[in-house]
Structure 1
Amino acid sequence: MRFIILYAVTYLRNITVRIDEETYKAIEELTRVEKTDRSTVARKLIARGLEHLRRERALKLYREGKCTLWKASEMAGVPLREMIDLAKSEKIPIHFSAEDVDEAWRAAFEED
């Protein structure tokens, strides 16, 4: 009988930040509630914060007419349908142009 052993190696980068006492206490509380370590909580917070900032930036650029709805969805890292819902929830008028249709069509049939 043969066994194959696979190893998954993830390389993580270090970052150092200074936080105020209130933020530190909030992280400690989450650490206890989640039954995990501070690093895991910090990674989750950073990931969610980045997700929020990407969406916020994409919506801002779309609102200002600096990108198409399709491009905004790519920048935010969400499907077009979700980007439409995000724009609607922010009361941003949806302008789906011929360019948007062309981009969506090309992306749908793009070969990797």
Structure 2
Amino acid sequence: MSMTISVRYEPKQDLDFITGVLGLTMSETLRSLIDDGRKMKALQLYRHGKVSLGLGAKVAKLTLSEFIDLLKEHNVKLNIDVEDAKSALAYSRENL
């Protein structure tokens, strides 16, 4: 499903600057910033125990293994509880 969202953002110069640095179109830049923001928010939520491993991966729009790799890249320790372990095991059995 695709939708258009209008956001009022007065300092267009910031977006123009970032777009120029990245060498992307405005749409590509916004998508990149949103994707990166989702990942950073998921890291923050997981680090502070607000989301489980699986939910963090969903927030970041990553697979479980990609999210674990992201956690490692940012030196975030795994906080796996019994439910996370069961979920990971079930996922592995179904998909591997």
TM-score using structure 1 length: 0.63
2:63 pairs with 79, 94, 103, which one? 79
Q: Deviations over 1:1-47 (max 9, x none)?
A: xxxxxxxxx966363533354643664x57xx66xxxxxx1111111
Residue type of the partner of 1:19? P
Could you say which structure has the greater relative contact order, defined with CA pairs below 8 angstroms and 6 or more residues apart? 2
Indicate yes or no: 2:86 matched with 1:102. yes
2:44 pairs with 56, 60, 71, which one? 60
- State the Cα RMSD in Å: 2.8
**Distance change in 2, residues 1:71/1:12 (3 Å):** closer
**Which consecutive unaligned segments of at least 5 residues does structure 1 have?**
1-9, 35-40
Q: Which has the larger radius of gyration?
A: 1
Residue type of the partner of 2:39? R
**Distance change in 2, residues 1:96/1:48 (3 Å):** same
Identify the structure with the greater helix proportion: 2
Instruction: Name the CA distance, whole Å, in 2 between partners of 1:11 and 1:98.
Output: 36
**Which consecutive unaligned segments of at least 5 residues does structure 2 have?**
none
Instruction: Give the total of aligned pairs.
Output: 91
Indicate yes or no: 2:3 matched with 1:19. no
Percentage of pairs with the same residue = 21
Q: 2:30 maps to which residue? A: 46
